[in-house]
Structure 1
Amino acid sequence: MEWLIGFWVLIGILVGWYYWSKEKNKIEKKRLVPRGNLGWPFMGETLEFIASGYTSRPVSFMEKRKSLYGKVFKTNILGTPIIVSTDPDVNKVILQNHGNTFIPAYPKSIRELFGKNSILQINGNLHRRVHALIGGFLRSPQLKARITKDIEHAVQISLATWKDTQEIYVEDEVKKITFAVLVKVLMSVGPGEDLDFLKREFGEFIKGLICLPIKLPGTRLYKSLKAKENLLKMVKRIVEEKKIALKLTDEKGPIMDAVDVLLRENGESGETQRLPDDFICGNIVEMMIPGEETMPTALTLAVKFLSDCPAALQQILVENMELKKRKTYSCDDYAWTDYMSLQFTQNVISETLRLANIINGIWRKAVKDVDIKGYFIPQGWCVLASLTSVHMDESNYENPYQFDPWRWEKIGAAVNNNCFIPFGGGQRLCPGLELSRLELSIFLHHLVTTYRWVAQQDAVVYFPTVKMKRKLPIRVQAITSSDD
């Protein structure tokens, strides 16, 4: 009998030890939850976060908390308790561990506007499938050859309208280029009423990306949703026309745009299930964003940074004039590789992307408890991988607030990819990153070899999105042959 009592005592000790260890682990994990301050109820630290976006150092909100709590900390912004990472290694894990650990998490207004089938929000096989399709198309040699000429044509037409005595608002002018180019890539829509309609309605639609999530008539979100309805009607009409054309050619014609790519997709492993038309239309609308927002901002800021740095402007001018002269003498057309071989121009683009921080951070949500570098992120918490903080960190870049394209000559191919992520990373790396660099290269080449310019005083505003306060007004003077 004594042995039986001893046995049950032993079992009790083991069970007690198990539950004690479990609770101890929970306590230890709670200690590892990043430190920070959640601020006021509901509002949290939102007001200070927004205020920093109207200063010349928008990353000051992150820098202050990083100095107090470390590179990973908790806060509450935009009504959401959130863990912010300014650590490039932690960011890499957040961006690469997709689906099984982290899923996209966006403000309610964005979720409302894009819907549940948005490529921003879908996960798993469907996301990989669509991302691979679009990425493969944008990287294809056939598109690169065709789109190079399309961008050149759009840039040259726009620059030809600039007058020596006229005040040019760069941000407005480059939008005419970028939106037209992207819509051509997506749907083969050229200049005309359809393009004008798409541009007008999309401009109204995108205003609601960051707004109060209230859908009452007259509110910003309501107006944006109405604009999306109008966009979807036109895109659906274009998709229907393309479906008819594909049937007539038995899908043997050339692939001209992203709609063609998505319509011809038959699924994986020989499946016959195609992507639904509503899914295609919704995501085509979403893919217009770079043409109206991110690309125009990048082009405008490149002009601003060059205006403020005469040495860089002179060097990029010399490099591009050499290319222009070679092409003039040979009578050859420009190719994708010609623009991408302009090394200093590529350095200017990299530095513009690093300093501009057009995408300031990427939002995710933890679907389970996860430990990264000793930091505990509980299930259900939102996480913000701050790209701006990494790009503006003195430990990653010397004099980070200085426009210094020459830094890339020193960094070169050895740059730590974790510290330069203007296009995101992991499975959601922007599929159009090469196209973006090409468009920047072509615009800068033709601008600097066509005009000299003087920019008026202007400032960058970082909230709600990165913009020039006055749209960067400049006055231009045409370069003559005697200036070469």
Structure 2
Amino acid sequence: MWAAVGLSLVVLLVTYITHWITQWRNPKCNGVLPPGSMGWPLVGETLNAMTLSNSIDLHPFVKRRVTKYGPIFRTSLVGRPIVVSTDPEFNSHLLQQEGKLVELGFFDSFTKILNLSGEATTTGTVIHKCLRSITLNHFGAETLKEKLLPLIEKTVVETLASWSSQASVEVKHASSVMLFNFSAKHMTGYDAETSSDNLGDKFSRIMNSFLSFPVNVPGTAYHNGLQDRDKIITALRDMLEKRRMSPDTHQGDFLDQISKEKLFSEESVVYAVFGVLLASFEPISSILALAFSLLGEHPAALKELTAENEALLKNRENPNSSLTWDEYKSMTFTRQVVNETLRLGNAAPALLRRALKDIPVKGFTIPAGWTIMAFTTAIQLSPNAFQDPLEFNPWRWKDLDSLVISKNFMPFGRGSRQCAGAEYTRVFLATFLHVLVTKYSWKTIDAGRMVRKNMLLFGASIHIKLSEKKN
């Protein structure tokens, strides 16, 4: 009898597991799902998506599936059903439908680390508009023109002088330190030289936890990300408390303005500052490292970039004066180099949205609640939009049609959620290149790897020796 009971239990368990696996691999849909595979239960295809790639090309996980299934396919990552789209028309349409068809839709690890599911969420339309307005007020074109440009140049000059005194510099990390310290000081009054908290390193490590399973077990990327997050949040709370105890200090900066907004509670102020700080330095440092590598490999581009910026200095009445806004706007080839580096690197290769309702697309249906990953990297590396798309060719931007650019070049997103720091990023990159090529030369000590850490993170490792130019 006990043998029969045991056999029955085994049969029931096998039946249940088989049914569960079948349901996992064939999700419910009021229509036809896009082609693809859901992978293993719970794990999905996460492990494939997290593999390293040493190519600047589209991550192999996406490239292989586009070849097999077409530009829109389904998968599952860290327990979430996902539709990945590399279709330019659908992506462009999708990003214009904020609040109608889609809303922001992050992975659980990202959502929990940034506290986007609680009171501090910045995904609400009204709160998002307010935060975007504050960010533009402190990092937008007018502030760059009137205040930030000379401060950025001063920071770059001091940073490169420091680099030139060292035997070698790892560009990605050193750039992260420069960018974080600048944005943190401008936003909150943070001074890296006097602070006991090395917030920049903690921010950098957090990036590794965003495509991870939200399992809070010591040793996991998610656990480490939460620990670094908590230390940063504690430091930001202390800054806010000191500010409120000394209201006459740091008047008018980002922290002051956002803390006075009635829409934001004290907790949401801290997390909003945390999120903007994170966005203000990590992507730019990857692009700077890539620029060093690309310019080192393309001497003709470096020569023209140098000539343009040296000519700018020669045309000044005072060669020692700071870079002006008009001069920045006149740096045509420099901005072409910036665009081309952004196109190839695209440090944020995909934009994540959650379907608010069933979305029909080209004969398929994306079910409500599913995450949609609009892969802008695939569009920017497509031969249909850019000739020889993997080639570094800044000159291509002279002849590109504006319509082609608007449809196929989205390094800062699109629609109402386009990155508020887009112009800040361009100005910082152009200013850095201006100081670099007019005052310094460099040689590569260790080329390292241009690497896509996983399908969502781009990184670049390059060690250089910087030397001051002799007049």
State the TM-score, normalized to the length of structure 1. 0.83
3-state DSSP of counterpart to 1:411: coil
Match of 2:427 among 417, 438, 446: 438
Structure 2: distance between partners of 1:318 and 1:287: 35
Q: Deviations over 1:134-187 (max 9, x none)?
A: 223322524543221221121111111233782222223212211111112221
**Correspondence for 2:470:** 480
**Correspondence for 1:129:** 130
**1:459 matches 2:449:** yes
3-state DSSP of counterpart to 2:434: helix
Structure 2: distance between partners of 1:215 and 1:399: 44
Tell me if the contact between 1:134 and 1:261 (Cα under 8 Å) persists in the aligned partners: no
Q: Tell me: CA distance 1:298–1:117, structure 2 relative to 1, closer, same or farther (3 Å).
A: farther
Report the Cα offset of residue 353 of structure 1: 0.6
Structure 1: distance between partners of 2:226 and 2:45: 29
Structure 1: distance between partners of 2:404 and 2:58: 24
Q: Tell me: CA distance 1:368–1:414, structure 2 relative to 1, closer, same or farther (3 Å).
A: closer
Structure 2: distance between partners of 1:142 and 1:129: 17
3-state DSSP of counterpart to 2:209: coil
3-state DSSP of counterpart to 2:164: coil
Tell me if the contact between 1:137 and 1:258 (Cα under 8 Å) persists in the aligned partners: yes
Match of 2:301 among 301, 312, 319: 312
Report the Cα offset of residue 36 of structure 1: 2.3
**Correspondence for 2:236:** 235
Q: List aligned pairs for 1:2-17, cutoff 5 A.
A: none
- Of all paired residues, the percent bearing the same amino acid is 27
Equivalent position amino acid for 2:126 in 1 = N
Structure 1: distance between partners of 2:119 and 2:299: 43
Equivalent position amino acid for 1:356 in 2 = G
Compare 155-164 and 280-289 and name the one that shifted more.
Answer: 155-164
Structure 2: distance between partners of 1:262 and 1:28: 42
Q: Tell me: CA distance 1:290–1:328, structure 2 relative to 1, closer, same or farther (3 Å).
A: farther
Structure 2: distance between partners of 1:435 and 1:134: 11
Tell me if the contact between 1:340 and 1:438 (Cα under 8 Å) persists in the aligned partners: no
Structure 2: distance between partners of 1:309 and 1:437: 21
Structure 2: distance between partners of 1:389 and 1:54: 16
Q: Tell me: CA distance 1:118–1:182, structure 2 relative to 1, closer, same or farther (3 Å).
A: farther
3-state DSSP of counterpart to 2:163: coil
Report the Cα offset of residue 101 of structure 1: 1.7
Tell me if the contact between 2:54 and 2:449 (Cα under 8 Å) persists in the aligned partners: no
Equivalent position amino acid for 1:466 in 2 = F
**Correspondence for 2:97:** 97
Q: List aligned pairs for 1:350-365, cutoff 5 A.
A: 350-365=339-354
Equivalent position amino acid for 2:233 in 1 = L
Q: List aligned pairs for 1:67-86, cutoff 5 A.
A: 67-86=67-86
Q: Tell me: CA distance 1:81–1:200, structure 2 relative to 1, closer, same or farther (3 Å).
A: closer
Structure 2: distance between partners of 1:263 and 1:237: 13
Q: Tell me: CA distance 1:190–1:144, structure 2 relative to 1, closer, same or farther (3 Å).
A: farther
Structure 1: distance between partners of 2:75 and 2:163: 47
Compare 329-338 and 300-309 and name the one that shifted more.
Answer: 329-338
Report the Cα offset of residue 335 of structure 1: 2.0
Equivalent position amino acid for 1:135 in 2 = L
Tell me if the contact between 1:175 and 1:291 (Cα under 8 Å) persists in the aligned partners: no
Q: Deviations over 1:181-223 (max 9, x none)?
A: 1112221223423275322443454443333322234544333
Structure 1: distance between partners of 2:369 and 2:223: 29
Equivalent position amino acid for 1:111 in 2 = T
Q: List aligned pairs for 1:200-239, cutoff 5 A.
A: 200-239=201-240
**Correspondence for 1:184:** 185
Q: List aligned pairs for 1:294-333, cutoff 5 A.
A: 294-327=283-316, 329=318, 332-333=321-322
Structure 2: distance between partners of 1:59 and 1:201: 26
Equivalent position amino acid for 1:376 in 2 = T
**Correspondence for 2:257:** 261
Q: Tell me: CA distance 1:79–1:171, structure 2 relative to 1, closer, same or farther (3 Å).
A: same
Q: Tell me: CA distance 1:369–1:76, structure 2 relative to 1, closer, same or farther (3 Å).
A: same
Report the Cα offset of residue 301 of structure 1: 0.7
Q: Tell me: CA distance 1:44–1:263, structure 2 relative to 1, closer, same or farther (3 Å).
A: closer
Report the Cα offset of residue 330 of structure 1: 6.0
Q: List aligned pairs for 1:5-84, cutoff 5 A.
A: 30-31=31-32, 33-51=33-51, 53-55=53-55, 57-84=57-84
State the TM-score, normalized to the length of structure 2. 0.85
Q: Tell me: CA distance 1:328–1:209, structure 2 relative to 1, closer, same or farther (3 Å).
A: farther
Q: Tell me: CA distance 1:479–1:215, structure 2 relative to 1, closer, same or farther (3 Å).
A: same
Report the Cα offset of residue 80 of structure 1: 2.6
Equivalent position amino acid for 1:457 in 2 = A
**Correspondence for 2:153:** 152
Equivalent position amino acid for 1:78 in 2 = V
Q: Tell me: CA distance 1:439–1:329, structure 2 relative to 1, closer, same or farther (3 Å).
A: same
Tell me if the contact between 2:56 and 2:344 (Cα under 8 Å) persists in the aligned partners: no
Equivalent position amino acid for 1:259 in 2 = L
Q: Deviations over 1:439-464 (max 9, x none)?
A: 10111111111112222433211023
Structure 1: distance between partners of 2:397 and 2:38: 38
Equivalent position amino acid for 2:37 in 1 = N
Compare 320-329 and 80-89 and name the one that shifted more.
Answer: 320-329
Tell me if the contact between 1:171 and 1:300 (Cα under 8 Å) persists in the aligned partners: yes
Tell me if the contact between 1:84 and 1:386 (Cα under 8 Å) persists in the aligned partners: yes
- Show structure 1 runs of 5+ residues with no match: 1-26, 266-272
Compare 424-433 and 273-282 and name the one that shifted more.
Answer: 273-282
**Correspondence for 1:270:** none
Q: How many residues align?
A: 440
Structure 1: distance between partners of 2:140 and 2:346: 24
**Correspondence for 1:12:** none
**Correspondence for 2:9:** none
Tell me if the contact between 2:137 and 2:143 (Cα under 8 Å) persists in the aligned partners: no
Structure 2: distance between partners of 1:232 and 1:419: 37
Q: Tell me: CA distance 1:184–1:380, structure 2 relative to 1, closer, same or farther (3 Å).
A: same
Q: Deviations over 1:308-334 (max 9, x none)?
A: 111100000000111122236465432
Q: Tell me: CA distance 1:178–1:120, structure 2 relative to 1, closer, same or farther (3 Å).
A: farther
3-state DSSP of counterpart to 2:50: helix
3-state DSSP of counterpart to 1:161: helix
3-state DSSP of counterpart to 1:403: coil
Which structure's CA Rg is the greater one? Answer: 1
Equivalent position amino acid for 2:451 in 1 = V
Tell me if the contact between 1:180 and 1:291 (Cα under 8 Å) persists in the aligned partners: no
